Chain A
Amino acid sequence: MNAGEGQSGVLRLSRLGRAWRAGLVVALTALFCAGSLVGNDHWWPFSPWRMFATSQAATGSVWSTGIEVRTADDPNTWVPARLTPENVGVNRAEVEGRIPQIQADPARLGTLAASHARLRPGSAAWLGLRVVRHKIIVVDREPTGEVETDVLAEWSAP
């Protein structure tokens, strides 16, 4: 598919070589544009490039989701735990996106405790796990220092 080296010392493409490349560019452009116009995250790699694309109200609250656990070392105290792939197999955004499912079936949180036990076999077992949402109050784009915390779902080991 190569037309070979021309007199100018430049390697030229054949007509066919040019045609399929041009067709590919048109197809990729169409897919990326369609993803940006009407697609969603499920279209990856043609999903919209929505890094920080949502509008956060200048006055309101910034939400930050986390987890708290009761461990076998201290079964009566809730302590914050890291909501990271290294600790529970999934990350914060992945849990934030499933809050309705978690609230409908809090037993799903038990799978995070099981993953933690596999990933951190030397740590104390988790006997309870709850998802908390911190609301950081912002007025005119400035955090006031006020934080409200809600418990969204809770699971205890049977």
Chain B
Amino acid sequence: MNRLASWLFTPMPVARVAVLRLLVFAFVIIDVLFLHTSGWYHGQADPVWYEPLVMGEMLHLPPASVLLVEVLKWGCVIAAALALTGRAPRLLGWTVAVCWIWYQYVAFSYGKVDHDRADFVVALALLPTVGLAHLSDKRRSEAAGFALRAVQMAAIATYFLSAWAKLRFGGLEWVNSATMVRAVVRRGTPWAEWLLEIPFTLHWFQWVLMAAELTAPVIFLLSEKWRRRAVAAWFAFHAMTYAAITIAFWPHLVMMLAFLPLEEYANWLRARWGRTRIGRWWSERGLSSGAEPPGVSTPASRPGAGVG
């Protein structure tokens, strides 16, 4: 039990949470404006198509209307833009969470649920629990470790539980079915149509996918080097899926970034930026952001600030 607790609360860099939050909130803006817009269009659909989910029945959520989808869409954008500043992380973070989850509910309560978007709820709900987190904070915290671990677990659960769903709904014969053929016939791109002429490729792919999904939790037992390689392999898989059938599990891809040393990448980018002419001009005028050492002047760097 103690080993499980120390794994769940492994101290991790506070700055990693700061970077992941930036990516999550930037993604929310891109997502509601460009990637997942069916919720907005449901504001134009007749309420006869509305089919409340359990969440909607419990919370008495109404069918979509033009006003509701506009409020949720722009609520997401404004709250996420403010959250990008790093201020009021709990208030703004949970406002983003409520708006985004409700907007997804509007999208999914018309008869079709996109099954890849549930794990992102965990990121939106738990990343604010870390409190203030600054990009240049050098410390590690258990609260950051917990939030990152929870995001990692939700992302990996997506793979394992989707294999479980294949066994539950498709049965053992799923691996020998023509499910991937069906996907390519219905949504295949020119890049993928040749696969239909060589049917064993899609057949074998189903075996590989099932094996990869069932063994996905092994990622937590790997060394850091192999863990990053596993994440890279999953990104390659998702890139291939997008090329073949134009389906990408966008929020899930953001979640997978929780496995990576994001604060190191951010530092590297900032160093590169500082060497450019514009970057030097920027810092000479005191416009550089987040360069203060932790423990000195930023609210986030007060010992213990916002953690708990």
Given known A11-B11, A94-B49, A98-B111, contact A47–B118 (CB-CB < 8 A)? yes
Q: Is the CB of B112 within 8 A of A141?
A: no
Are the C-beta atoms of B129 and A21 separated by less than 8 Å? yes
Contact, CB under 8 Å: B162 / A42: no
Distance in Å: Cβ of B266 to nearest Cβ of chain A? 20
Let me know if A9 and B139 touch, CB within 8 A: yes
User: Does A44 sit within 8 A of B, measured CB to CB?
Assistant: yes
Central interface residue in A13, A43, A95, A114, by most chain B CB within 10 Å:
A13
Q: Mark A107-127, 1 if CB is under 8 A from B, else 0.
A: 010010011001100000000
Bound Cα distance A114, B46 (Å): 8
Cα-based distance from A9 to B141 in the complex (angstroms) = 9
Smallest CB gap from A88: residue in B: B45
Count of chain A residues with a beta carbon within 8 Å of a chain B beta carbon: 66
- The answer to the question of A45 belonging to the interface, with a C-beta cut-off of 8 Å to chain B, is yes
Q: Which residues of A contact B (CB under 8 A)?
A: 1-2, 4-5, 9-14, 17-18, 21-22, 24-25, 28, 32-33, 36-37, 41-60, 62, 64, 85-86, 88-91, 93-95, 97-98, 108, 111, 114-115, 118-119, 136, 138, 140-143
Question: Could you name 22 residue pairs across A and B whose Cβ atoms are closer than 8 Å?
Answer: A1-B308, A2-B308, A5-B303, A9-B140, A13-B143, A28-B154, A32-B118, A44-B54, A44-B113, A45-B121, A46-B118, A48-B168, A49-B158, A51-B249, A89-B44, A89-B46, A90-B110, A94-B111, A111-B48, A119-B41, A140-B199, A141-B181
Not counting A13-B142, A42-B53, a sample of 7 additional A-B residue pairs whose C-beta atoms are within 8 angstroms of each other reads A1-B308, A28-B150, A47-B113, A48-B164, A54-B179, A94-B110, A143-B181
